[in-house]
Amino acid sequence: MQMRVDAGSLEAIALPPLELRLLRRRGRHRVALEMAGAVGELRFSGATAAALFRRRYRHMLTARRAQMVAYAVTDETGTPFFWTGDAGPVYRWGRQALSDAEIAFLADAVAMTGFFRALDDTIALHAAALTDGYGAVAIVGASTAGKSTTAVACVRRGLQLYSDEYCAITPGGVAPFPRALNLRRSGLEMLAREPTLPTGITAVAAARCGGDWEDAGFDELFGSLHVPEPTPLRVVCAIVGTEAAPSAARIPPAAMLRYAKPWSKMKPRGLEGVRALLAALQPTACYELRLGSPDATAQLVARLVAAS
């Protein structure tokens, strides 16, 4: 379902401690998930929104004790509030009424931002992340740029998927973030139109043509839930457009900042954040990537990783 909302429209507000305490009590439905070695828990007031969030993160659920807590609750008037931790800002949605799916969507955006900003020594890029077993590649791009389609095509060409949403860079390498994928109808149709690759993934894509595929699990797409071990980040590609044939132009790590910084999430802020991100990019080969067909692009990405 195409969301009518975006996190940028949330209003940051200050709430009196008593009101915040009362809102916390409404978070009765809990979902705990593991990310980059840490555990975060979301608490919802609505059971359906919690179930939708749980489904999206079903490969990351854990029974371990949470180190970080976020909230997605509505007050007695039905107004939704979102926040992470005790010191983080509180966000209110004061526009049209939200569906349970939209509450889960905004909870995801607010909680992941808060969780990644609470983690030491972890930088999360808004990027698909894959590995050939020796080095990892991040494919940076906006939500509609083609990251997910390219990531699935790369798996068909032998790479292993960490995530189509976040490249979580830790001291031990890129960490798995196997949140379920959202594949648009256009991407599914492009994957299905490549008969030169009669893989299981192609068949699954063909069977799902005709509409978007929300919350596609790794097991549904790839036939099993295989999450690779962390590997060092070697290549970063920023999607800058499309062509008849894919191409990659090498750029300096400093030039990659303009693509990677706007949606990156990390504990250091301001200039310290820029320095931390540049330090993470410095050992990598950086490219501006123009997409061709999914399979041709996947072959190019695989070559870049193999050569790194």
Residues spanned by the domain of 202: 123-307
1 assigned to some structural domain:
no
Would you state the pLDDT for residue 3?
A: 58
Whole-Å CA distances, 67 to 32, 39, 64, 119 = 10, 6, 9, 10
Would you state the pLDDT for residue 227?
A: 86
Q: What is the CATH number of the domain that holds 260?
A: 3.40.50
DSSP state of 2: -
Q: How far apart are CA 234 and CA 285, in angstroms?
A: 6
Q: How far apart are CA 302 and CA 308, in angstroms?
A: 10
2 assigned to some structural domain:
no
Would you state the pLDDT for residue 1?
A: 46
What backbone phi and psi angles, to 5 degrees, belong to 118?
-95, -15
Q: Does position 2 have pLDDT exceeding 70, yes or no?
A: no
Q: Does position 303 have pLDDT exceeding 70, yes or no?
A: yes
Number of domain units in the chain: 2
Closest by alpha carbon to 130, among 233, 46, 51? 233
Helix (H) / strand (E) containing 236: strand 233-242
Residue 82, token pair as written in the block? 């979102």
CB 124 within 8 A of CB 265: yes
pLDDT digits (tens, 9 = 90+) for 224-280: 888 899 999 999 999 999 999 999 999 999 999 999 999 899 999 999 999 999 999
Residue positions counted in the chain: 308
pLDDT digits (tens, 9 = 90+) for 86-95: 877 999 998 8
**70-84, 118-132, 195-209: which has the minimum mean pLDDT?**
195-209
**Do residue 100 and residue 131 come from a single domain?**
no
Nearest-10 Cα torsion for 94, 11, 31, 70: -140
User: What mean pLDDT comes out for the span 42-52?
Assistant: 98
**Do residue 207 and residue 137 come from a single domain?**
yes
**Do residue 152 and residue 198 come from a single domain?**
yes
DSSP state of 54: H
Higher pLDDT, 124 or 5: 124
Domain boundary among 71, 99, 118: 118
| pLDDT band with cut points at 50, 70 and 90 for residue 170 | very high
Higher pLDDT, 261 or 3: 261
230 assigned to some structural domain:
yes
Nearest-10 Cα torsion for 159, 164, 168, 173: 0
